[in-house]
C-alpha cells in the first residue's frame, strides 16, 4: 500500500500549493497530461493550464509533461504550452520518469510528479522516490483500459480514506 500512497491529494492541479513545494525543496514538477491537465485527448492547453505553468516557473520550478499518450499528440500539446515532454512514457515503468529527470536536471528527491492515476503516476513516482501528488481526474471520459483500472483504483482510494491515508483536500 505504501507504493500507492501519494504524498498529497488535491481536487485539481490548481489547488496545489506551489510555494509549499518550493519550500519543501522541490525544484521540478513532472505532470501527466490526460485527465490531469486537460480532459482525455483534449488537443491544447487551456488558459488555466498555461497560467498554472506560469505559476510554477514564477516559483523557479521546472516543468515537464510525462504522458503515456502517443508522442505526436503529447509533443503538439507541449509545444503549445512551451514545456518539454516525454511521450509514450509507459508509466509506471521508470524509463519515462528517468528521461524526464535527465531533461530537468534534477534528482528524484527534488522532483514532484502530479497525476490522476494511482497505478501509473503515483506507483511509478513512488518507485523512483519522487514526491507524488494525486489529483482528481478532470473528466470521466477515458480510454477503456483506464476505465477498467479505475474500478480497482476506487477500491484502493476508499481503503486509504478509511485508514486516514488521504486527507480531504
- 28-31 and 62-66 as β-strands: parallel, antiparallel, unpaired? parallel
Asked if residue 157 belongs to a domain, the reply is yes
DSSP state of 120: I
pLDDT digits (tens, 9 = 90+) for 97-115: 999 999 999 999 999 999 9
Cβ atoms of residues 139 and 150 within 8 Å:
no
| Residue whose cell numbers read 521546472 | 62
Q: State the pLDDT at residue 4.
A: 93
Output the domain CATH number for residue 104.
3.40.50.1000
In this structure, is residue 169 part of a structural domain?
Answer: no
Q: Which residues span the domain enclosing 149?
A: 2-162
Spatial separation of the C-alpha atoms in residues 41 and 69, rounded to whole Å: 9
Structural domain count, the chain: 1
Mean pLDDT of the region 131-155: 84
Write the pLDDT tens digit of every residue in 39-74.
988 889 999 999 999 999 999 999 999 999 988 999
Whole-number pLDDT of residue 91: 96
Could you tell me which of 52, 121, 42 has the C-alpha nearest to residue 82? Answer: 52
Residue 36 CB contacts under 8 Å (≥ 6 apart), including other chains: 13, 114, 115, 116, 121, 135, 137, 138
Q: Is residue 167 part of a domain?
A: no
pLDDT tops 80 at residue 75: yes
Amino acid at each position: 500500500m505504501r507504493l500507492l500512497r501519494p504524498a498529497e491529494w488535491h481536487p485539481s492541479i490548481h489547488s496545489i500549493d506551489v510555494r509549499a513545494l518550493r519550500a519543501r525543496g522541490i525544484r521540478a514538477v513532472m505532470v501527466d497530461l490526460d485527465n490531469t491537465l486537460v480532459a482525455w485527448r483534449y488537443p491544447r492547453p487551456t488558459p488555466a493550464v498555461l497560467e498554472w505553468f506560469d505559476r510554477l516557473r514564477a516559483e523557479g520550478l521546472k516543468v515537464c509533461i510525462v504522458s503515456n499518450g502517443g508522442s505526436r499528440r503529447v509533443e503538439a500539446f507541449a509545444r503549445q504550452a512551451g514545456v518539454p515532454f516525454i511521450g509514450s512514457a509507459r508509466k509506471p515503468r521508470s524509463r519515462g520518469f528517468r528521461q524526464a529527470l535527465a531533461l530537468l536536471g534534477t534528482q528524484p528527491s527534488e522532483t514532484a510528479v502530479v497525476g490522476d492515476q494511482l497505478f501509473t503516476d503515483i506507483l511509478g513516482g513512488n518507485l523512483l522516490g519522487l514526491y507524488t501528488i494525486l489529483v482528481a481526474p478532470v473528466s470521466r471520459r477515458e480510454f477503456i483500459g483506464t476505465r477498467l483500472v479505475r474500478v480497482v483504483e476506487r477500491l484502493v482510494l476508499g481503503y486509504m480514506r478509511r485508514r486516514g491515508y488521504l486527507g480531504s483536500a
